[in-house]
Amino acid sequence: MDIGNLLKKDLEELCFEADKIRMDNVGDIVHIRALLEISNICKRNCAYCGLRTQNQELSRYALSIDEIGKIGKSVCDIGYKTIVLQSGENNHYDIARFSEMVAELVNNGIVVTLSLGELSFQELKLLKEAGTKRYLLKFETADKKLYEQLHKGYYLEARLDCLSAIRELGYEVGSGFLVGLPGENEDTIIDNLLLLEKLQCNMAGIGVFIPHKQTPLSDIPHGNIEITKKCVAISRMLLPKCNIPITTSLGEFGDKYQMFYGGANVIMQNITPQNYADKYQIYPKPKIIIDWAKDRERLEKQIKKLGRTPV
Ligand code: SAH
Ligand code: SF4
């Protein structure tokens, strides 16, 4: 597939093609995932992210393992089937105890997805043995040099090694990248898409960079929305059976649901308790009022209105 040529096509044309491929390969279902932002503590310093350790203006929190388990069971009772536990990269949790909580959720019929950053093989193994089904770790950019500029002291190879470990351990692999990072060009975007294909991701999340005041990239404009949408559509062409979410960052712009007609088949619904959600400022988010049951009902209605089947 000539990705350079695809990127030159009209967004509408790409979406039309991607929508057909989506229908033929993964059908009408839209998967709703409950997103629980368990902690905003992070030891890393990604140049684009508001949770970076050097942002001292952010008040930090970590839900207790018991709290996470309780919330998981409660949202399952109102219809969520998958819970995504996401946090900054930190050593806050004892992974053995965390795994016990995961195992309990899994025993209750809940599908668990984790997005806790780069963990060691041993930690990933424990969490997999506890029943975790998927792990999300975006490579963020396929450009080795750019990766190292934006993540001082960290390396793309290590990220990719971690993704290999995730695959080897039998997880469904989620990865992806950001559109609009300073220093990227069209070749970077092509390489990002090629890497996504090479990794044969089971889930591909393409986000758009949004500047955050307390980061070194505060003055950089947000990424191009049209290019981001094109990348979503092209991902569907490259990986027909993949799960492709409308990422929360992309959802901040214009018609949130447009890409359900352009290749996407997954959406995350934030279920983080309000006082914590307000502090999970990866990028500046508008204040949202979180109501588990009402939010799910509203989302299901919206998806049905689009002629799709919420699950
Ligand atoms: N700490 C973990 C998971 C939480 S961060 C990790 O980094 O993998 C989840 C995602 O937020 C990252 O993968 C990144 O792509 C996205 N993100 C961070 N800062 C962002 C920003 N300013 N704009 C858009 N997305 C951002
Ligand atoms: Fe931490 Fe993830 Fe943000 Fe990087 S992107 S600073 S690892 S939360």
* Extended strands (E) in 91-155: 111-115, 134-136
What residues flank ligand 1, with Cβ below 6 Å?
Answer: 48-49, 86, 88-89, 115, 117, 137-138, 140, 178, 207, 209-210, 212, 249, 282-283
Residue nearest to atom 24 of ligand 1 (CA): 209
Rounded CA-CA distance 113/268 in Å is 12
Tell me the one-letter amino acid at 100.
Answer: E
Beta bridge partners of 82: 33, 111
Rounded CA-CA distance 170/273 in Å is 31
Q: Which atom of ligand 1 is nearest to the CA of 88?
A: 1
Residue nearest to atom 5 of ligand 1 (CA): 88
Nearest to 115 by CA among 87, 139, 77, 92: 87
Residue with tokens 């204040």: 287
Ligand 2: residue of 40, 49, 55 to mutate (most ligand atoms within 8 A of CB) is 49
CB 232 within 8 Å of CB 260:
no
CB 271 within 8 Å of CB 36:
yes
CB 118 within 8 Å of CB 162:
yes
Token pair belonging to 278: 């307000």
| Ligand approaching nearest to the C-alpha of 212 | 1
Query: 18 CA to middle of ligand 2, Å?
Result: 30
Helix axis angle, 11-26 to 225-238, nearest 10°: 40
Query: 45 CA to middle of ligand 2, Å?
Result: 7
Ligand 1: residue of 178, 206, 210, 214 to mutate (most ligand atoms within 8 A of CB) is 178
CB 73 within 8 Å of CB 44:
no
* Pairing mode of beta strands 172-179, 266-270: unpaired
Ligand 2: residue of 35, 38, 40, 44 to mutate (most ligand atoms within 8 A of CB) is 44
Q: Tens-of-pLDDT digits for all 311 residues of the chain?
A: 899 999 999 999 999 999 999 999 999 999 999 999 999 999 999 999 999 999 999 999 999 999 999 999 999 999 999 999 999 999 999 999 999 999 999 999 999 999 999 999 999 999 999 999 999 999 999 999 999 999 999 999 999 999 999 999 999 999 999 999 999 999 999 999 999 999 999 999 999 999 999 999 999 999 999 999 999 999 999 999 999 999 999 999 988 899 999 999 999 999 999 999 999 999 998 888 889 889 999 999 999 999 999 99
**151 Cβ neighbours under 8 A, 6+ residues apart:** 44, 45, 46, 47, 140
